[in-house]
Amino acid sequence: MDTQKYPADAVSRQMRPGWCWILVLALAWGCATAPPEEEVPSAEGYYRRALEMLEGRRVLLFFRDVNYPAAIELFQEVIDNYPYSEYATLAELKIADVYFEQLQFEEAASYYQDFVELHPSHPEVPYAIYRNGLCSFEQVREVDRDQTPTHEAVAQFKVLLERYPDSEYAELGRERLREAVDHLAAHDIEVGLFYYKREDYHAAANRFRQALTAYPDHTDRLRTLIRLADALVEMNHVPEAEAIYRDIMDSLPEEGLGDDTENDLKDLEEKLIDANHQAYSRYPLWEDAAIRFRSRSMASGIAST
């Protein structure tokens, strides 16, 4: 090309339209292939991601690695960003469940309680009350320790049965309530036995009475009555002890008191007969009670010697 005939600026002007089209096409292509903008997660999206997080990833055959803090964070996102969504309500309950699974019972109980108070008409309220009771039940201590968690468990299970007697958690709550009540009764009985061994029979009798009064339906009620009568005998309160022995005899189930039924009956007979030999002349009913006990033992096929 003759540069004299076509100066540089003239060449540049001739090529400019072509470059412009190339530039326009490049921009158009770039726009067409640009990644789409990320969608803002919805309440359901956050919630489902949290559930997936709780499934964890399998590390060994029987072990999954679950990122609980990350799941809680996602549930909290639902609560913070979509407070009026149904998923926010469910997220509150799920956070409680996550803490429960991690054995962080105080934190779990707090969320369950808040759920019940904030959503009193929600269909999951019976579940929340039951799990709240479990939070306390799982913290029950030995019978010789403080029983505050046991009392709290009893209170929650009673609320469940009073408000929702027909819920699917009622039977489970009833079973846990019985166990908790038996544990509380065992606490008083344990203290009573401690006093009995120290020959403080008055204090022992008071503890046995307390167990019978506060927990009249506890599973070991008949044995508690026997222990109370034993303490009364030691205190020379013969008529009251005799009346208790009579009540035990009248209410004794056919299967007896348990694995040691034969020995229990023998002991009761001996207590009726040998507690105070002089009582026969003063309280003739004692001898009659002993005879009735022997008859009951023979009728039930239990040998007495």
The larger pLDDT score, comparing residue 24 to residue 228, is at 228
User: What is d(CA 50, CA 70) in angstroms, rounded to the nearest whole number?
Assistant: 8
Residue-level pLDDT at 243: 84
Mean predicted confidence (pLDDT) in 98-108:
96
Q: Considering the entire predicted model, what is its pTM? A: 0.72
56: left (phi over 0), alpha (psi -120 to 50) or beta: left
Burial degree of 66 (CB within 10 A; 0-12, 13-18, 19+)? middle
Sign of torsion, CA 264 267 273 275?
negative
- Token pair of 169, please? 């958690």
Amino acid at 264: D
Q: What's the chain's average pLDDT?
A: 80
Query: Any idea where the domains of the chain sit in the sequence?
Result: 220-305
- The 10s digit of each residue's pLDDT in 51-94 is 988 887 655 556 678 889 999 999 999 999 999 999 999 999 99
The answer to whether the CB of 192 falls within 8 A of the CB of 204 is: yes
Q: Could you give the CA distance from residue 112 to residue 150 in angstroms, rounded to a whole number?
A: 18
Residues 6+ away with beta carbon under 8 Å from 177: 153, 154, 157, 158, 161
How many other C-beta atoms can be found within 10 angstroms of the C-beta atom of residue 96?
Answer: 26
CA neighbor of 179 nearest in space, from 138, 209, 213, 208: 138
Give the pLDDT confidence of 108-131 residue by residue, as tens digits.
999 999 999 999 999 999 999 999
More confident residue, 79 or 245: 79
Of 68-77, 79-88, 142-151, 293-302, minimum mean pLDDT range? 293-302
Higher pLDDT, residue 264 or 91 = 91
CB-CB contact of 186 with 212 (8 Å): no
Give the C-alpha separation, 261 to 33, whole Å.
86
Backbone φ and ψ for 286, nearest 5 degrees, come out as -60, -45
d(Cα 216, Cα 251) in Å, to the nearest integer? 14
pLDDT per position as a tens digit, 184-204: 999 999 999 999 999 999 999
Residue 211, Cα to own-chain centre: how many angstroms? 23
